[in-house]
Amino acid sequence: MIPYKDDNPSSTLPLVTVSLIILNIAVYLLGVFSPGGQQQVVYFYGAIPHNLITFDKTQPLHPVATIFSSMFLHGGLFHLAGNMLYLWIFGNNIEDRLGHIKFLLFYILSGIVAAYAHTISAPDSLIPMIGASGAVSGVLGAYLLLFPRAGVYTIIFFGFFWQTIKVPAVVVIGFWAIIQIINAIISKSLLNQGGVAWFAHVGGFLFGLLTVRLWMLGRLPSGRLRSLF
């Protein structure tokens, strides 16, 4: 099930969402063409759980700083494309509701919570964590709470055939969330510290789901400003 757009238009230009997408793409390209190679970039700027717990400064970059830098690194083109697709589909509506500055802070804080969710699940891991997945997961959690009935156009595959259908956001994001939780439980039970940081996804998602209403305090719903004048 691959979503590619929703039918939930926003009333403001998603400047932050677009800027984040451009920045992620630019950082990925810089990593690909880095003289030292992408692996060196990952170990330099990636967030290593063990270092975040112990504040071990074996990396040239301070462990806390790697939390932020890691949000803009991706391990491959499909990793980047998947995260940016979800951010493009769902980010504009959350930015519309929160406003540009609050949305940026919400996005970054979702990524921080996600990083530490993974760190707590694998405190001894020396494998760098990279990707915007944790921050984007926060956006998905917020979207699920605010727009559960919004229609999401999705591609469904049936073997060699595919079909485009529109389904409620609660189905698309709910299915995604269940997959993350199941994989997080399995990875923990198998003591698997490599591969995908499933707990980062779960942590970011829960943060977005549980806190987005607090970020909206004091802000009028989208479209209300025009009706006051």
The pLDDT score that the predictor gives to residue 226 is 35
Q: What are phi and psi of 58, to 5 degrees?
A: -70, -25
- Longest Cα–Cα distance in the chain: 59
Tens of pLDDT, residue by residue, the chain (229 residues): 899 999 999 999 999 999 999 999 999 999 988 887 778 899 999 999 999 998 877 778 899 999 999 999 998 999 999 999 999 999 999 999 999 999 999 999 999 999 999 999 999 999 999 999 999 999 999 999 999 999 999 999 887 888 999 999 999 999 999 999 999 998 877 665 567 899 999 999 999 999 999 999 876 555 444 333 2
Query: CB under 8 Å, gap of 24 or more: what pairs does 115-119 form?
Result: 115/47, 115/52, 115/67, 115/70, 115/200, 116/52, 116/203, 117/199, 117/200, 117/202, 117/203, 117/204, 118/49, 118/197, 118/199, 118/200, 118/203, 119/47, 119/49, 119/52, 119/53
Q: How far is CA 195 from CA 84, 161, 183, 187, in A?
A: 19, 29, 11, 9
Tokens of 90: 């769902």
- Helix (H) / strand (E) element for 24: namely helix 15-32
pTM (predicted TM-score): 0.91
